Structures are given as C-alpha cells and as structure tokens.
Amino acid sequence: MKKNFWIALFAVTMISACESDDNTPDLTAPVIEMEEPFPGDSFAAGWTMHVLGEITDDEGLASYNITIHDDFDGHTHGRVLEAFSYDQSFVASGTMQEIDQEIEITETATAGPYHFVVQAIDEAGNTTSFADGSTIESEIWITNDEMALIHFEDANGTEVDEYEAELGVSLAFYGHIEDQEGALDHVDIQVGHVEESEEHDHSHERVLEDAIYDEEFEVEGATSVTIESLLANANIVVTQSDLDALEEGEHLYLIITVKDEDGNYSKNQIAIHFD
C-alpha cells in the first residue's frame, strides 16, 4: 500500500473517531468489482489502458487507489527501457462509485508481467484487504516492439495453434524464439496443467498449476534458438494418469517464457491435444 493511500486511510479514520459513540460502528469494507482489465490482458507500450469497474459500500466511500508495478527483476544492460509503474488515488463518494480511468503506458515500458491492484477505503476507515481478497490484484502483461517472439511450428516449419501428441510417447515440439532487437538471455519451458477462463481467451490469462516438465535454459547472447534444439535431450512423456489428474476446465499446455538481455519478458503457450 502506497504512502498516499495510507494518508487517506489515516484521515478518514480520524474523522470516524470524532463521530458520536451512539452510532453503530461501520465495520464493513467496500466491495470492488472490475470489468477491465481482465486478468491476463496485454497492453502495448505507448497505448492506453482502460480501467472500468465499480465500488460499493454500505455507508459511504472515501477514496480508491490504482497501482501497477512490475513482477520481474528489472535488470537490463543499459538500454532505454524501464519498468512501467503507476500509483494514483481518486476521491470516491456515496455508496456506489464507478471506476472509469484511462492509463497511458509509456513508450519505453519494459515488456513483461505486471501486478494491477485496486484498493478502496470507506468513510469509517474500513479498507479492502489482500488477505481476504477484497483488494483486487491481478496479472496483466505489457508488450513492446523489442521483446522476444515465440513461434510454435510443426516439423515442416508451418506455424500451428495446437500440438498433436500421443500418450506414452515422448513429445516432440518445434518452433523458434527470436529477439526483435538485441539478444536473448534465458528461456523457461514448461508442460503443465493450466486453467482456462470461460470469458476470455488470451495467451497470458491462464493460471499454471503443477508442471509435468519445467526446465530453464541459458541462451545468453543468442539472437534466436529453436525449441527442438533446447529440448533435444528432454524426454517428456504424458500418461493417462496425467490426464486423469486434470480438473474440469484444465488442459495440458506447452508454456514458454523468455527473458532478453534488455530485461523484456515474453510468454506464449499452446495446447497439447491427445488422440
């Protein structure tokens, strides 16, 4: 929670303390419902993010805060990119407050995962919390023109949107990873369970569960690598018991996350279909 948010909390708490002891204390925190952005949504550097939602309270609202901060180490090698950040508080009033804000993402924003956080305070000083989930916290992604690109292909070099596989047989994956400007640093490859959203179908929105395969490869200085070369010594086998362990709405995916030498993160994933 940022400094200005704590200042607002202190102010409304002092006001509440001055009220008559005969009043029934308000102990209920505000409720936040967000429509945009959706978890996993991607936004290009230099573009505008639309934030849309609603906050309600049983007595009266005081303020709300929107914070965006990176979820990576931020280490770069001297280029002009920098992690994007945003921290702004807004006055709220009444028992219902619409959230309708536009946030400009800087053109030099580092690509990768970011935490999007919305908090609220009511007039009695009750604040939303991370502990009980009343504070909204989700992951969004920022993209740029310098981040690495991940291409999934078949054995003939044709791009595909799904891999065909056979149970009990070592999986073969093809494709290539290329940095648009500069060089790569490392690649993380996972095969695991992910939970799909019923409302959206974005490449970043799914949540990784237990991984069947998870390895990190150091590729520092390379401008491109093939997926098959990275997995040349891997023996990734999926069994029927692995599929039986999936919960409803889960599927197996190949998930690749890449970091380049400028600190940009890229992520792409593709479904694995078993006959």
- The residue out of 143, 169, 188 marking a domain boundary is 143
Same domain, 27 and 114: yes
pLDDT the model gives residue 13: 55
pLDDT one-digit tens code per residue, 12-33: 555 555 554 556 788 899 999 9
In the predicted model, what is the mean pLDDT of residues 93-105? 98
Token representation of residue 248: 């409803």
**CATH number, position 242:** 2.60.40
Same domain, 86 and 17: yes
pLDDT the model gives residue 23: 66
**CATH number, position 31:** 2.60.40.2550
pLDDT the model gives residue 202: 42
pLDDT the model gives residue 228: 98
pLDDT one-digit tens code per residue, 170-202: 999 999 999 999 999 999 999 998 765 544 444
Same domain, 217 and 96: no
pLDDT band at residue 205, thresholds of 50, 70 and 90?
A: very low
Same domain, 102 and 193: no
Same domain, 97 and 129: yes
Position 117 pLDDT exceeds 50: yes
Positive or negative torsion for Cα 231, 233, 238, 242: negative
Same domain, 134 and 183: no
Range in 126-140, 151-165, 182-196, 261-275 the model is least confident about = 182-196
Same domain, 8 and 124: yes
- The residue out of 143, 167, 195 marking a domain boundary is 143
pLDDT the model gives residue 189: 97
Same domain, 88 and 108: yes
pLDDT band at residue 275, thresholds of 50, 70 and 90?
A: confident
Range in 1-15, 101-115, 150-164, 221-235 the model is least confident about = 1-15
pLDDT one-digit tens code per residue, 221-230: 999 999 999 9
**Total structural domains in the chain?**
2
Position 127 pLDDT exceeds 80: yes
Range in 59-68, 85-94, 192-201 the model is least confident about = 192-201
- The residue out of 143, 176, 191 marking a domain boundary is 143
Same domain, 98 and 159: no
| pTM: predicted TM-score of the whole model, two decimal places | 0.82
pLDDT the model gives residue 196: 56
Q: How far apart are alpha carbons 141 and 145 in whole angstroms?
A: 14
Same domain, 155 and 262: yes
Same domain, 171 and 209: yes
Q: Which of 177, 167, 178, 151 is nearest to 212 (CA)?
A: 167
Give me the torsion for CA of 204, 205, 209, 214, rounded to 10°: 0
Over the chain, what is the mean pLDDT?
88
Q: Which domain holds residue 62?
A: 3-143
Same domain, 45 and 127: yes
Give me the torsion for CA of 242, 247, 248, 250, rounded to 10°: -70
pLDDT the model gives residue 25: 83
Position 165 pLDDT exceeds 90: yes
Q: What are the residues whose beta carbons fall under 8 Å from the beta carbon of 71, sequence distance 6 or more?
A: 112, 113, 114, 115, 139
